[in-house]
Amino acid sequence: MRRNRFLYYALAVAIPILSMMGSPLSVQAKEYQLPHLIQTVTEQDIYEGMLALGFLETPVLEEADCDSAYENVKSSVVRVQMGNAHGSGIIWEMTPEAIVIATNKHVLEYWKDENSYVYFIQGYYADAQVIGVSEQYDVGFLYIDNGQFTYEQLEQFRSVRADEAVYDSLRQGDVMFSVDSGSDMDEEQYFEATVEDTHKYIDDFDAYMLYGHGFAKEGMSGGGTFDGRGYLIGMTTGGTYHNETAGVPLPDIIEAYITVVQGKIRMN
How confident is the model at residue 40, as a pLDDT? 73
CATH number at residue 189: 2.40.10.10
pLDDT tens column, 148-162:
999 999 999 999 999
How confident is the model at residue 1, as a pLDDT? 42
Write down which residue in 160, 187, 209 finishes a domain: 160
**In this model, does residue 255 exceed pLDDT 50?**
yes
**In this model, does residue 9 exceed pLDDT 90?**
no
Amino acid at 226: F
**Is residue 91 situated within a structural domain?**
yes
β pairing state of 7-8 and 77-82 = unpaired
How confident is the model at residue 171, as a pLDDT? 97
How confident is the model at residue 181, as a pLDDT? 76
Largest Cα span, the chain:
92
pLDDT tens column, 214-250:
988 888 999 999 999 999 999 999 999 899 999 999 9
Neighbours of 105 (CB within 10 A): 23
Write down which residue in 116, 133, 160 finishes a domain: 160
pLDDT tens column, 93-121:
999 999 999 999 999 999 999 999 999 99
How confident is the model at residue 4, as a pLDDT? 46
Structurally, how many domains does the chain consist of?
2
**Is residue 243 situated within a structural domain?**
yes
CA pair distance 22, 86, nearest whole angstrom: 60
Q: Are 171 and 249 part of one and the same domain?
A: yes
Cα distances (Å, whole numbers) of residue 204 to 201, 234, 250: 9, 17, 19
**Is residue 59 situated within a structural domain?**
no
pLDDT tens column, 133-143:
999 999 999 99
Q: Which domain holds residue 105?
A: 76-160
pTM of the model: 0.84
pLDDT tens column, 170-212:
999 999 999 987 666 556 689 999 999 999 999 999 999 999 9
Query: What's the chain's average pLDDT?
Result: 86
Residues making up the chain, counted from first to last: 268
